[in-house]
Amino acid sequence: MRVLAIGECMAELAPTDNAGDFRLGFAGDTFNTAWYLTRCAPNATVSYLTAVGTDALSQNLTAFMRSSGLDDSFVQTIPDKSVGLYLISLKQGERSFSYWRDQSAARSLADDPARLAKAMDSANLIYFSGITLGILAPKQRQFFISALKDARASGKIIAFDPNLRPMLWESADTMTNAIMQGAGVSDILLPSFEDESVWFDDATPRATAQRYIEAGATTIIVKNGSESVYFVEDGASGEVPVKPVSDVVDTTAAGDSFNAGFLAGRATGLGLRDSIAFACRLSRKVVQHRGALVPVEASTALDGDTGRLV
Burial track 145-162 (b if 16+ CB lie within 10 A, e otherwise): bebbebbbeeebbbbbbb
What CA–CA distance (Å, rounded) separates 135 from 51? 12
Closer to ligand ADP by CB, 74 or 278: give it: 278
Q: Number of residues in contact with ligand ADP, rule: CB under 6 A?
A: 19
Closer to ligand ADP by CB, 151 or 287: give it: 287
Residue number, nearest CB to ligand ADP:
255
- Pick the stretch among 65-73, 92-100, 133-141, 220-228 that binds ligand ADP (CB under 6 A): 220-228
Nearest to 147 by CA among 176, 173, 111: 111
- Pick the stretch among 140-148, 207-215, 225-233, 294-302 that binds ligand ADP (CB under 6 A): 225-233
What CA–CA distance (Å, rounded) separates 257 from 289? 12
Cβ neighbourhood burial of 275 (10 Å; 0-12, 13-18, 19+): buried
Query: Is there binding between residue 35 and ligand ADP (CB under 6 A)?
Result: no
- Pick the stretch among 76-84, 123-131, 173-181, 254-262 that binds ligand ADP (CB under 6 A): 254-262
Query: Is there binding between residue 258 and ligand ADP (CB under 6 A)?
Result: yes
Query: Is there binding between residue 223 and ligand ADP (CB under 6 A)?
Result: yes
Could you give phi then psi for residue 76, rounded to 5 degrees? -95, 145
Closer to ligand ADP by CB, 60 or 226: give it: 226
Of 66, 244, 290, 306, the one binding ligand ADP by CB under 6 A: 244
Query: Is there binding between residue 36 and ligand ADP (CB under 6 A)?
Result: no
Instruction: Name 237's bridge partners.
Output: 232
- Pick the stretch among 12-20, 106-114, 230-238, 249-257 that binds ligand ADP (CB under 6 A): 249-257
Of 255, 260, 267, 291, the one binding ligand ADP by CB under 6 A: 255
Nearest to 44 by CA among 266, 298, 275: 266
Footprint of ligand ADP on 268-307 (CB under 6 A): 280, 283-284, 287
Cβ neighbourhood burial of 26 (10 Å; 0-12, 13-18, 19+): buried
Closer to ligand ADP by CB, 37 or 123: give it: 37
- Number of residues in the chain: 310
Closer to ligand ADP by CB, 48 or 258: give it: 258
DSSP annotation of 156 reads -
Footprint of ligand ADP on 173-212 (CB under 6 A): 192, 194
Query: Is there binding between residue 238 and ligand ADP (CB under 6 A)?
Result: no
The separation between CA 120 and the C-alpha centre of its own chain, rounded to angstroms, equals 16
What CA–CA distance (Å, rounded) separates 94 from 28? 20
What is the Cα gyration radius of the chain? 18
Of 63, 198, 248, 310, the one binding ligand ADP by CB under 6 A: 248
Q: Is 266 helix (H, G, I), strand (E, B) or coil?
A: helix
Give the active site residues: 256
Dihedral sign from CA coordinates of 23, 29, 31, 34: positive
Could you give phi then psi for residue 166, rounded to 5 degrees? -55, -30
Instruction: Report the interface residues with ligand ADP, using CB under 6 A.
Output: 192, 194, 223-226, 229, 242, 244-245, 248, 251, 254-255, 258, 280, 283-284, 287
